[in-house]
Structure 1
Amino acid sequence: MIKSRIAHLGLVLAALGFIAATPVIGLSIAHAAEAVRAEIGGPLQNAQKLMKSGKNKEALAELRKADGVSNKTPNESYLIERVRAAAASAAGDYDTAARSFESLIASGKLGATEKAQFSEGLIGIYMRARDFGKANAAIERQLKDRHDPKLRAYLIQNYFAMGKTGEATRLLQADLQADEKAGRRPQEDQLQMLSNIQNKGGDKNGYINTVEKLATYYPKESYWLILLNRISGKPGFSSRLSVDVLRLRMHHNMLKKPSDYMELAQLVLRDGAAGEAVKIITRGYKEGILGVGPDAARHQRLKDLADKNLAEIKTKAAANEADLVKTGDKDGLVSLGYALVSAGENAKGIAMMESAIKAGDLKRPDDAKLRLGQAYAMAGNKSKAVSTLRTVGGKDGTAEIARYTIMSL
């Protein structure tokens, strides 16, 4: 399961910046006493002093004295609620704070900027109290007036917390489509949330599709681990493609042990691509994974074998090609062409592969096209690699290997 950073309520609130005092700017004592009767101004002043000393509950008690005064003017009521909003928020009395925020927003005395601040503060209070229904109602009122990606993200988060995954999914997919249509990179947190909903809901295809998007836009090891483990364990996956899974693992820095590098290099040598094996072994040495420990001598022997085979490819290529042409072994020509590309003879190797594939009569045409696409990528021709890999089909893993190779280019 993918961990979604946005799914943690405490982090959401911290991200919002809805620390209670932020939008509730306390009144100065002079302001608190301005244009109010003494029986109201006195409690307001005392409440302000108590708040400065951190005695917020006592401040709320002091404000209740002002509540008892009859025939308050709208301005007096506004000032009381404004101080109460600050005191209640700081005291953690969210029910009281919410009522004060609601009163202030409805008072008509807030400017546009402050009204937006208090509206967001009210949302934060509802979320602290886990009253997600009221939070979303407040968010939707805000979104009618202005587009705010932050608030929309919290709207979705709240639906998720309420268990309304269908509504959360609808909004997430709408945002994803809008981002992709506009050429924007979707937000990682939203993709994570969508993948979690799909995974918990048993939508396997939707889940993998979303993880593929995560791996495309945010190519982290954790996302690629999910994808590569899945295809390796998928029913019908052919073991001959294990080498390609290891290739992708290496590309995404997932080979951590000497045995990982040894296995990949040996499989590549088995297939005749000594040049690629040399590169794999060289990387293992460079990263300090090969050439150390109790098996260092084995690593060296494999390195020597790869170097020897690479030299033989270059000296025997013409003779080997002639033998393969004579016997009509198109699959062998594809393998030899790939080996030549891995040895740095790009033009010759690719031409050989293209000719063999065009001639047909291949045991596994999709494997051949997969190798050609990989050869184009190795030669630095990304556009040709992509167009070729898109033609790869098959139900034993070749199509997925091809798609993941494109994603990795």
Structure 2
Amino acid sequence: MTDNPKSKTRLHPVLVNLGCSFAIGAAAVLAVPVASSLLSPVLQMSGPGQAFAQDSENKERRETRRTPAIRAKVFEVLNEAQVAADEKRYNEAIKILNGLRDKTGRGELNSYELANLYNLYAFVYFTQENYPKALESYENVIKQPDIPIAMELNTKYTIAQLYFVAENYRAGVKTLLEWFKFKEDLQEDPGAGAYALLAQGYYQLNDQDKALRYIEVAINDYEKRGKVPKEQWWGLQRYLYYEKGNTKKVVELLEETLKHYQKKNYWLQLSSLYNELKRENEATAAMEAAYEQGLLEKDKELVNMAYLFLQSEVPYKAAKVLDEGIKKGAIPATSKNLELLGNSWRQAQEVKKAIPEMEKAAAKSDKGELWSRLGSVYLDNDEFAKAADAIESAFKKGGLKRPDSAYLVLGMARFNLEQYDSARRAFKQALKDDRSADYARQWMKFMENELARQEALKDEI
């Protein structure tokens, strides 16, 4: 993997470059979901002198607390501060809260009033991205006695999230586990999101076993409810299985993810992993699915698509991808790409389409190799004079990997042009290399027999 799993700059990994030949991707960061619903309404009450409204669904199971009422005058000041905060007059909001907080004597605030005061402080600080101050304020909320249970639960969960934002994962996990225990005592379901957050915390603490356990709890919870798990949850699950070396499981998870989240990187990753598992046809099919959806845009992606088609022995599709890409400008018309296009057409038995591409490729090259290959294409199309000229150009430019093969092509071209002496010289050069010796010898024998046959015909006439 390209990412360091111990890095503290990420809160969540996604499966990216898997180290395979066609894997393409980039790491993504999942911000800890400090939802606005946990921060507002900041005044957790329905009006002056009324206590916090507890969750009706779990009301009967929650213990009864005698929560003091918020006095009307206090409510009015808190409301004034909240209006200032909503209008982004943050300094004014803080000033109002400071004045209320510092009241003493008969005007001193009770525990529930203080809880709402600190909750509003936290909201202002969080909005200003002053997370240490926001965290301190939320801690002060739960220090107050006799606050509503729902308020304590929500605040503790928010504190855990803020620890994650501050990259204090150990404190975040500890707080989250306390919150889970609180939920358990109330016989309430923590919910899939909480399990996913806990999984992220354990991942950051490098406890991959617990991270995997809890992310699977979150995913299974959603699936049992008929809901589609969140994309990043599957991303963490895939990453953890990949780290365990369970490539087959990663493939299964990618296949499931793609049923709901059609993204290019997932198709590319799946194709890469299929290749790793030697499932070449499925690797091609995965990449083709991305291509057909118009998801492949970069030249390397399109060229990789062509190579996969060639690997799967469907050169015509490879040629079509390259041809269309070059014409649209998505693939640079370099000598190498033009040669690949020419070879693809040639393998698809479309020699007439291969020739102009190979000509353009050779014209862009300062080495003889492409001219040698062009000579072979001309020979296949029975253009013997052009084949001979191309091979001569190849030798002039030099740098041939297989001069013996070039001499064979030249010999065959000269033979068909009835330039037998030149053909014989070319075949003799090919004889010098053991890789072409047998073939050159057969051609020389065939040519000598042909010459003898022609002489015999002359004698008969």
Q: TM-score, normalised by structure 2?
A: 0.46
Percent identical pairs in the alignment equals 14
Note the C-alpha offset of 1:214: 2.0
Contact 2:323 2:341 in 1 (8 A): no
Deviations 1:145-195 (A, max 9, x none): 245333332232233334443322212233445566777644331222123
The match for 1:82 is 116
The match for 1:388 is none
Note the C-alpha offset of 1:196: 3.0
The match for 1:364 is none
The match for 1:395 is none
Q: Output the amino acid matched with 2:232.
A: D
In structure 2, relative to structure 1, the CA distance for the partners of 1:101 and 1:173 (3 Å cut) is same
Q: Output the amino acid matched with 1:149.
A: A
The match for 1:303 is 345
Map 1:287-326 onto structure 2 (within 5 A).
Answer: 287-288=325-326, 293-294=333-334, 296=338, 299=341, 302-303=344-345, 306=348
Map 1:336-347 onto structure 2 (within 5 A).
Answer: none
Note the C-alpha offset of 1:31: 7.8
The match for 1:173 is 216
Contact 2:38 2:154 in 1 (8 A): no
Q: Given the alignment of the two structures, is residue 25 of structure 1 paired with residue 48 of structure 2, yes or no?
A: no
Q: Output the amino acid matched with 1:84.
A: Y
The match for 1:62 is 99
The match for 1:12 is 32
Mark the runs of 5 or more structure 2 residues left unpaired by the alignment. Answer: 4-9, 14-27, 51-68, 352-461
Q: Given the alignment of the two structures, is residue 161 of structure 1 paired with residue 204 of structure 2, yes or no?
A: yes
Contact 1:44 1:83 in 2 (8 A): yes
The match for 2:265 is 222
The match for 1:203 is 244
Contact 1:88 1:97 in 2 (8 A): yes
Mark the runs of 5 or more structure 1 residues left unpaired by the alignment. Answer: 270-275, 310-409
In structure 2, relative to structure 1, the CA distance for the partners of 1:28 and 1:229 (3 Å cut) is closer
Note the C-alpha offset of 1:77: 3.4
Q: Output the amino acid matched with 1:281.
A: A
In structure 2, relative to structure 1, the CA distance for the partners of 1:145 and 1:174 (3 Å cut) is closer
Map 1:3-402 onto structure 2 (within 5 A).
Answer: 6=12, 11-14=31-34, 16-17=35-36, 20=39, 22-25=40-43, 36=71, 53-55=89-91, 57-59=94-96, 61-66=98-103, 68-69=104-105, 76-91=110-125, 92=130, 93-102=133-142, 106-108=146-148, 118=155, 120-128=157-165, 130=168, 131-132=171-172, 133-139=174-180, 141-142=182-183, 144-146=187-189, 148-177=191-220, 185-199=228-242, 202-205=243-246, 208-218=248-258, 220-226=263-269, 228-229=271-272, 232=275, 245-246=283-284, 248-253=286-291, 256-257=299-300, 260=304, 263=307, 276-288=314-326, 293-294=333-334, 296=338, 299=341, 302-303=344-345, 306=348
Contact 1:23 1:118 in 2 (8 A): no
SS at match of 1:13: coil
SS at match of 2:43: coil
Q: Output the amino acid matched with 1:138.
A: W
Paired with 2:210 and 2:340, the residues of 1 have a C-alpha distance of 57
Note the C-alpha offset of 1:213: 0.9
Paired with 2:79 and 2:276, the residues of 1 have a C-alpha distance of 70
Q: Output the amino acid matched with 1:303.
A: W
SS at match of 2:105: coil
Q: TM-score, normalised by structure 1?
A: 0.51
The match for 1:389 is none
In structure 2, relative to structure 1, the CA distance for the partners of 1:138 and 1:181 (3 Å cut) is closer
Paired with 2:253 and 2:30, the residues of 1 have a C-alpha distance of 27
Give the helix-richer structure, 1 or 2. 1
In structure 2, relative to structure 1, the CA distance for the partners of 1:5 and 1:46 (3 Å cut) is closer
Q: Output the amino acid matched with 1:17.
A: S
Over the aligned positions, Cα root-mean-square deviation in angstroms equals 5.0
Paired with 2:147 and 2:197, the residues of 1 have a C-alpha distance of 26
Paired with 2:135 and 2:344, the residues of 1 have a C-alpha distance of 71
Q: Output the amino acid matched with 2:90.
A: G
Contact 1:185 1:217 in 2 (8 A): no
Note the C-alpha offset of 1:304: 6.4
Deviations 1:53-108 (A, max 9, x none): 42355445424422x43696xx8432233123202442342354224432568424
